[in-house]
Structure 1
Amino acid sequence: MIILEFRYKAAGDSSILMELDVGIDKDINKLIIHLSNIIEEKTSEGFGEVIIGYRSLLVQYNPLTMSYYQAVEKLKQLKFAENNKSHEKRRHIEIPVLYGGEVGPDLESVAIHNNLSPKEVISIHSEAHYLVYFLGFTPGYPFMGGMSKRIATPRLENPRISIPPGSVGIANNQTGIYPVESPGGWRLIGQTPLRLYNQQAKQPFLLRAGDSVTFKEIQIDEFNEIKKQVELGDYIPVIKIDNNNNIYTDSQKGGISYL
C-alpha cells in the first residue's frame, strides 16, 4: 500500500502546492492523476483547476469562500483510493516522426555523445514505450518518462530562440515534443507532422497525463502527406485503449482525434 504524505505550501493568494518526497515513478503518477480528478470534482466546495507535476499538485481554490488553512484541511480530509477504475484503461498514441536532417539538427550530436550511430539513436528512441507524466512549459507539452539511458544527452548550452511546433527533442534522460513555436534548449532529433495543440478543437490537447506513447519512424514523403492531411483537418490518428485493444477514432473534420 502506498501512503501519500504531502507537504502543503501557499502558492500565491488562491493556490496550494501539494508536494511528495518521492522520485519520478509511474505508480505515483497514477495516484497523482487520480487525486487531481477527485479534487477537480470538488468545485462546489470551492476548488478549481489542478495542475499536475511529477510529484506535486498545484490546487486552485476560491479565497472568497474559504481561507488557505480551511482549504488545506479539506484536502487532508479527502479519501484517495489507490484502486481506481478510472485508470484501468490507458490510451496509447503512436506519434509518427521524421528523424534527422533539417527537422532533427541535433541527431548527430546525440549519436556522438553516446558513441552511437544516428540510426542506432533512432532505433532506441522509437522502440521505447513512454509515459506522459504531465503537460507543462507550453500548452500541451508532454513531459515523458521511459527513455533509454543509452541516448540521454544534456541540454544545449545555448538554447534556440525559436523551435518549430512538432519538434521532438531530448534533454538529459527525457524526451518531449514542442506543441507550439517557442524557445527551448532540448536537442532536436526529429519532427512529427501531428498537431499536439489545437486551440479550436473541443479537446485541444492530443496527449494527456497518463497516456502511453510510442514513436514511429517515417520518411519525408509520408511526413508531407500526413502534414497535408492535418492542415486540411482530414487526418485521424488512431488511439488505442490498452486494456482491451479497442480502437477509437474521431471523424470530425477540422480537428484531430483528441479522445
Structure 2
Amino acid sequence: MSVRYLSCGDTAFTVEFGNEISPEINGRVMALHTAIVQARDAGEIPGIVETVPTMRSLMVTYDPMAISRAELQPQVDALVARGLPAGMKSRQVTVPCCYDDPEFAPDLEEVAERTKKTTDQVIADHLASSFKVYVLGFMPGLAYVAGLDPSLFLPRRSQPRVRVPRSSVAIAMDMTTIYPFESPGGWHLIGRTPLWMFDQRREQPVFLAPGDSLSFQRIDRKTYDRIAREVEAGSFDWSTLVKSK
C-alpha cells in the first residue's frame, strides 16, 4: 500500500494511508502505530516521542536532538514496506446503556420516525452494530466509533444543543459516541451509560482506546442507577467490561 508523508512542523510528520474512513485503512494505521511503539521500546528506533493515530493516518512525533526526520522516515517506511502485522491483540469492550428513560433518550422517537422504525427496532439495530473505536478527539475521552448499522445513518441535528449531559450515547452519520463531559453537541441522543469515559481517579483516565471493538448492552433504569452509584464512589469493577481478543 502506498502512503504519503506530510510535514507537521519541525518535530513531527504524518503517515497517510488513504482518503476514506474504512476498517482496512484504520487497521493499517493501528498496525503501524503498534509496530513503531514496539520498535521504540526494543531500542530499534530512538527519539520517538509519541505516535497519534487518526482514522486514516498516523502522526509521528520525534525528538530532533535524538534523531532527524531524514533518519526516521526511512525506518518508518521500512516498517510499512515489509508488511505490517495483522491480527494484533485488541480489546472487546462492553458498555451498558439505558435506552428506556425519556430523559436519557430525548431523540429516540425522532430517530425512529426518520428511519421508519419503531423505537425498539432502533435500539436493536444499535445493539447489533459492529462498532470499532477509530480515534479520540474533540475533548478528553470522546471516542469516534464507526460501524453504525446503515439503516440508522442520519446527519447531525440541524440545531445543536448547548448542553448535552455527560455519558449520553449518541449517533450521527455512520458513527456513535459517548459524551465524556457535559458539553454542546449536535448528535442524536438515544441513551445514556452510567460509565464515565474520563475519570482522573483511574490509573488510565480514558476508558476507550483506538482499536477497541465496542458493543452496547441494554440495561434498565434500576441497573443504571446501581452502576452509576458504584462509578461515582469509585468502587465499580471496570475489568468486567473488557476482554482481550
Contact 1:135 1:143 in 2 (8 A): yes
Aligned-pair identity (%): 34
Matched residue type, 1:125 = H
Q: Deviations along 1:11-41, whole A, 9 cap, x unmatched?
A: 1232212112253332333332121122234
Question: Residue 235 and residue 163 in structure 1: after superposition, are their counterparts in 2 closer, same or farther (change >3 A)?
Answer: same
Answering whether residue 18 of structure 2 is matched by residue 21 of structure 1, we say yes
* Equivalent pair of 2:97/2:219 in contact (CA under 8 Å): yes
Q: Which residue of 2 aligns with 1:9?
A: 6
Letter in 2 for 1:190: G
Q: How does 1:57-206 map to 2 (within 5 A)?
A: 57-78=58-79, 81-84=83-86, 87=88, 89-99=89-99, 100-206=101-207
Cα displacement (A) at 1:84:
4.6
User: 1:136-162 CA distances to partner (integer Å, 9 max, x unpaired)?
Assistant: 222122221221111111101232223
**Distance change >3 Å, CA 30–CA 128, structure 1 → 2:** same
Indicate conservation of the 8 Å contact 2:194/2:228, yes or no.
Answer: yes
RMSD: 2.1
Q: Pick which of 16-25 and 75-84 moved more.
A: 75-84
CA-to-partner distance for each residue in 1:181-224, whole Å, 9 max, x for gaps? 22221111111001111223212222222211111122211111
C-alpha deviation, 1:231, in angstroms:
0.8
Q: CA deviation at 1:239?
A: 3.4
Structure 1 stretch displaced more, 184-193 or 23-32? 23-32
Which residue of structure 2 lines up, in the alignment, with residue 222 of structure 1?
223
Asked if the contact 1:40–1:48 (Cα under 8 Å) also holds between the matched residues in 2, the reply is no
Output the CA distance in 1 between the equivalents of 2:140 and 2:132: 18
Q: Which is further off, 60-69 or 198-207?
A: 60-69
How far apart, CA to CA, are the structure 1 residues paired with 2:133 and 2:119? 25
Runs of at least 5 residues in structure 1 that lack an aligned partner in the other structure: 244-259
- The one-letter code matched in structure 2 to 1:241 is K
| CA–CA separation in structure 1 for the residues paired with 2:11 and 2:158 | 36
The Cα shift of 1:67 comes to 4.0
Match for 1:130: what amino acid? F
How many angstroms does 1:90 deviate by? 2.9
The separation in 2 between residues aligned to 1:159 and 1:50, in whole angstroms, is 33
User: Could you state the TM-score of these two structures normalised by the residue count of structure 1?
Assistant: 0.83
Shift in alpha-carbon separation, 1:81–1:241, aligned structure 2, 3 A: farther
Distance 2:61 2:105 in 1: 38
2:30 is equivalent to residue 33 of structure 1: yes
Per the alignment, residue 251 of structure 1 pairs with none
> Does the Cα contact within 8 Å between 1:96 and 1:217 map onto a contact in 2?
yes
For 2:85 and 2:35, how far apart are their aligned partners in 1? 13
Instruction: Indicate the SS of the match to 1:101.
Output: coil
Contact 1:10 1:68 in 2 (8 A): no
Moved more, 96-105 or 23-32: 23-32
User: Who is 1:47 aligned against?
Assistant: 48
Deviation above 6 Å: which 4+ runs of structure 1? none
How much has 1:45 moved relative to structure 2? 1.6
